[in-house]
Chains A and B, each alone.
Chain A
Amino acid sequence: MSHFEMNSLCERVGLTEAASKANVDIYWNGPSNWDVQRQIDLIESSARARSYGIAVNPVSPFAANTAIREALSNRIPVVILVSPVRVAPSAHLYFVLEDTKTSAVLVSQRLNHLLNGQGEVALLGLDPLHPGSIERFQDVEAVLHRDSPGIHVDDQTAGPFGYGDLELGAEQILHEHPRVDAIVALNANSGEAAVAAIRAAHLQNRVHVIVYDQSLQLFLLLRHGEIDSIVAQDMHGIGAKAVSDIVADRTGKYASETTYLQPKLITQANIDDESNQRFLTMRWQPQ
């Protein structure tokens, strides 16, 4: 369901609730897909409009840097959400990020549990141009090496250029590494591609899929048993912290430059827990 960009909806819930408490209006928009220029345009127009603050979920690690610096030079607080961009630390600049180390620990623990400490794993969807992708990849590899020495990373397939390439990459993993026990998909698109490849190879009962990032589509696949687990980001918390950082900056109060928010590992066993459902709430309208 393309309408339901779950990450965005959850993030907006946090933003809206916090903004409502702080009596701040939210202008909400974003580019279709990974349209960097569109995001730059939106940042620039927000800066020109002298917005109270700007919260950006970057679609590129570098491309929007100039626009961000321009906003900062106008003393507009800017909060970078979820994944870091390579902007030098500056006054009025804040980061509210995914705790990729905790994510990697959750993935490692789950793989240990599934594979009893022994097995082969492939990582799918490394995209250096996608913010946060390298951090996820490096942390998973490092934590597996440290905490699960019996689990080996067999393949690291880069992407994504498109869904077709990702799906082909997943097929090649299954073809070239017939003993692979699990695929860790570094983003939602890679997760769907991995499921498609496993279906095509009729390996649903043998190869486990762990996916970073939530979507309603992925949760349905989780409920159907085609995905083992999902590393769900605290988008609600990220949105709320972004507003509180902006308000703190504007009112001269202290706000930490970088905040890491911990993800949760959602499995078939715990998806219906009330705490997890609240974690995933998408009620974006102010109550």
Chain B
Amino acid sequence: MKLPRIARYLMIALTVAVAAAIFLVLFRFRDYPRLPYRDSFAKRQAGEWAPMGGSWRVVRDEMINRSDEPGAKLITGSSHWSDYQIVSDLMLRAHGGDIGVVLRVNDPEIGIDAYRGYYVGLRSGDSSIVIGRADHSWLEARPIAVTDGVQVGVWYRLKVVIVGCEMAAEATNLSSGQTNYAAMRDATGDCIARGKIGLRSTDTSGAWKNVQVSAATHDDLQQILEHGTSVGKPEYPIREDDYARMREQYFPDYPSGLLAMLIDPSGVTKLPLVSAESLQTNGYSGARVRLRGVVTFTEPVYLQDETGGIMLQARDPESLNIGDDIEVIGRAVTGGFSPVFTASSTQLLSERTLLSPISITPTEAASGTHSGSLVEVTGVIKSRTRRADGGIVLELAESAQDFAVKLESDLFGNVSRGWTVGSTIRVHGICSLSPEVSPTDSFTILVASASDISVISGPPWWSGWRLVRILGLCLLVILALFHAFLQFERSKHRAIMQEREHLAHEMHDTLAQSFVGVGYYLQSIRRSLREEETVPARAMEQLDVACEMVTETHREASASIAALHPETHDDDGDLLTLLERSTFSMLGGECLPIVLCREGDERTLPPTITNVLFHVGREAISNVLRHARATSIKLTLQFHARQASLSIEDNGAGYVADSHKPGFGLQSMMRRCREIGADLAITTSPGHGCKVTVTAPYRRRVSISKWLSMYFRLR
């Protein structure tokens, strides 16, 4: 059953709408990964995690943040996760601060408490389990003191269950086996129902491994609460005096231990305290000196004070983290362009002293005055190379300076995907002029983490793949327009054909039938008059002529109907058969041999071509019958690869061709041929018959000028 056109369009629109809806639903719920989830740190993979601050590395099966940045986060999971439990082994790698996991995270951003969700962690300052709620601010339940203290360098297994508005935590010291519990009910009235998970540290370096998340039930929650865990609520700090009383009651030693990392005033202070700048300019004497500064990079270690930065060779570089304020004793040695400080001892003064980079131009960086310092530079990416070890090297150019940016590991491919060639990026990192680091570039920026590279603007629209995409899009639009035009032309043609068919039916039912009726009556009159001898012979002759004219006109009408009626062609035969029938009709019983000849692989011709060939062929045959006095006609239909040709050849008198004065019939044939882009050729000479050949392409080739003329005609 053929549907009406409007119904077909509606069906298509409905299908597209349903497909779009399915796509949107799948897109909305495409969040990865799904529960249960287990990390792939052991495979050195973390593509599903999104860093927000920090300096993240995977070492063996551990995810390590080597930065003291407050509120550094690593987020993964689905924003639709609701009730679940997260288990993770974690370890503080430095004194101070806290590390833990975040739950039901929404709207995470770089910043200390820049997310909406819950946090459970271990805090070394007061040796407690801390549990609370963040909403771009922080409110926590009473911290629970950890029995044997929160120890640096010791692995803990933290299990947190969150169901409804309640959460409970279980922290086990994996060395001693000691377990502590904490719980909180979010009684703020709008507890956060669902969200992602994450790892988070504040003011310290930390390590996490074996991160697992699975769906949880109320029973899982109860298993922790059965340990007599008191359920707190987020209530600190609301008033200073409440907070102070809580501290006095549960943490009486606090804050005496907090400021314990003091400088030992004896002994070492006798050594001269020098600045990084003095080591850069005149510090090659090799004397033992003291140097104070903040760690700005860890692999290799760079130290910076207020005068500048310097590379540090420490005995235990793994213990140093970005933000550590340290004092080192040692000597400066030549390290190529810049000196390297070789430390014999390292003392931690304090943590979380994060430095902001100095914003400089590439030329300033290349001048060497900022060698070893934490800088911020802007440039345009010229090339991007992924090294075999997973690192990324970006070649940048800006202000007549070419330089490189090196990121040792690209753990989070989702971040680096935006670093396309031609993009302008801003980079935070260590400016290194060391020839080992940058053998060909004027300088290299060593980047600690993918989050230290931010894209200011994408590549210009005319560059690289963008241009290809735009051209491709234009091509698709042109194709779509062309397709639409063809559809329009086809529908117009269909309408014409339907109208012709309608006309054919009308002619058949009215004109042709009338001719039949007139002929019938004329024949009856003639038969009646023939029986009477009084009828003049001349009248009988005129009556015979009238009968013949009616018969002839009926044949003409039938032929026109056949030409107008496309279905007639299919029903009654092919083009040659139609022409043969038409010729027999025109002959009116006379005998003339007709030879039909088909050549090539036969194929169905488009109706427009068939019509033109039929009319031109019929006109040519008519001319043969009227003027040529031929004794035979040969009709040949040839099928070529790209075109079909019809030739009508006779062995008659022929004539002298005069191209300047074509007759009416010939003009009509030429006009019809032009309509379909066909060629008309006539070969004749007196006494050698005539051959008319029409060659029509299956698909019409149209020039641009033709297109334009057609376009304006359409308008």
Chain A residues at the B interface, C-beta cutoff of 8 Å:
1-6, 8-9, 12, 27-38, 161-165, 167-168, 171, 192, 195-197, 199-200, 216-217, 219-221, 223-224, 271-272, 277, 280-285
Contacts and interface: CB of A to CB of B under 8 A. Distances in A.
13 contacts: A1-B125, A2-B202, A6-B240, A8-B137, A9-B237, A12-B137, A33-B352, A164-B353, A168-B263, A171-B263, A220-B244, A281-B239, A285-B188
Given A2-B352, A3-B138, A171 B265 contact: yes
Interface stretch (B25-33, B108-116, B383-391, B533-541): B108-116
Most chain A CB within a 10 A radius of its CB, from B111, B135, B294, B359? B111
Contacts of A5: 112
Nearest to B138: A3
Given A32-B69, A162-B293, A277-B241, 10 more contacts: A3-B112, A3-B113, A6-B237, A161-B306, A162-B325, A165-B305, A167-B349, A197-B262, A217-B258, A282-B238
Interface of B: 53, 69-71, 97, 109-114, 125, 130, 132, 135-140, 188, 202-203, 237-241, 243-244, 247, 254-256, 258-259, 262-263, 265, 292-294, 305-306, 325-327, 349-350, 352-357, 359, 376, 426
B456 to A, nearest CB: 10
B238 A200 contact: no
A29 B115 CA distance: 9
Given A31-B111, A200-B263, A272-B241, A220 B247 contact: yes
Contact of A164 (B53, B113, B203, B327): B327
A36 B137 contact: no
Contacts of B111: 29-32, 38
Given A2-B352, A162-B350, A164-B325, A271 B70 contact: no
Contacts of A9: 137-138, 237
Given A29-B114, A32-B111, A220-B244, A164 B140 contact: no
B558 to A, nearest CB: 77
A274 to B, nearest CB: 9
Contacts of A6: 237, 240
B244 A29 contact: no
Most chain B CB within a 10 A radius of its CB, from A165, A200, A283? A165
Nearest to A280: B240
Most chain A CB within a 10 A radius of its CB, from B125, B239, B359? B239
Given A171-B263, A277-B240, A2 B137 contact: no
A66 to B, nearest CB: 12
Given A29-B114, A167-B350, A221-B255, A216 B243 contact: yes
Contacts, number: 139
Nearest to B119: A3
Nearest to B247: A220
Given A3-B113, A272-B241, A283-B238, A32 B354 contact: yes
A33 B243 contact: no
Given A223-B244, A283-B238, A37 B376 contact: yes
Given A3-B138, A277-B240, A167 B255 contact: no
Most chain B CB within a 10 A radius of its CB, from A5, A195, A285? A285
A282 B262 contact: no
Nearest to A35: B356
A33 B240 contact: no
Given A164-B327, A221-B255, A37 B359 contact: yes
Contact of A2 (B203, B355, B357): B203
Contact of B71 (A32, A164, A171, A219): A32
Nearest to A189: B353
B352 A164 contact: no
Given A165-B306, A167-B349, A220-B247, A4 B237 contact: yes
B392 to A, nearest CB: 22
A125 to B, nearest CB: 14
Q: SS class of chain B's interface: helix, strand, loop or mixed? A: loop
B259 A192 contact: yes
B136 A29 contact: yes
A1 B135 CA distance: 17
A200 B260 CA distance: 9
Given A2-B203, A4-B237, A199 B259 contact: yes
Contacts of A34: 356
B322 to A, nearest CB: 12
Most chain A CB within a 10 A radius of its CB, from B113, B138, B292, B293? B138
B349 to A, nearest CB: 4
Contacts of B53: 32
A30 B109 CA distance: 10
Contacts of A221: 255
Most chain A CB within a 10 A radius of its CB, from B130, B240, B356? B240
Contacts of B327: 164
B414 to A, nearest CB: 20
Contacts of B262: 167, 196-197, 199-200
B140 A3 contact: yes
A32 to B, nearest CB: 5
A219 B244 contact: yes
Contacts of B294: 161-162, 164
A217 B125 CA distance: 11
Contacts of B256: 224
Contacts of B238: 281-283
Nearest to A5: B112
B407 to A, nearest CB: 19
A12 to B, nearest CB: 6
A165 B273 CA distance: 11
A29 B108 CA distance: 11
Contacts of A4: 138, 237, 243
A35 B71 CA distance: 14
Given A2-B70, A164-B325, A32 B112 contact: yes
A36 B138 CA distance: 23
Contacts of B135: 285
B453 to A, nearest CB: 13
A218 B198 CA distance: 31
Contacts of B125: 1
A271 B244 CA distance: 11
A161 B112 CA distance: 21
Given A2-B70, A32-B112, A162 B137 contact: no
A29 B350 contact: no
Contact of A282 (B130, B239, B254): B239
A88 B71 CA distance: 35
B254 A220 contact: yes
Contacts of B114: 29
B136 A28 contact: yes
A70 to B, nearest CB: 15
Given A28-B137, A200-B263, A219-B244, A164 B349 contact: yes
Contacts of B137: 8-9, 12, 28, 284
Contacts of B350: 162-164, 167
Nearest to A159: B306
Contact of B263 (A8, A161, A167, A284): A167
Contacts of B140: 3
Contacts of A219: 240, 244
A271 B349 contact: no
Contacts of B359: 37
A27 B110 CA distance: 14
Given A9-B237, A224-B255, A163 B139 contact: no
A273 B254 CA distance: 23
A260 B655 CA distance: 114
A280 B294 CA distance: 33
Nearest to B428: A37
A38 B110 contact: yes
B113 A271 contact: no
Contacts of B69: 32-33
Contacts of B130: 3
A33 B354 contact: yes
B237 A216 contact: yes
B264 to A, nearest CB: 9
A277 B238 CA distance: 10
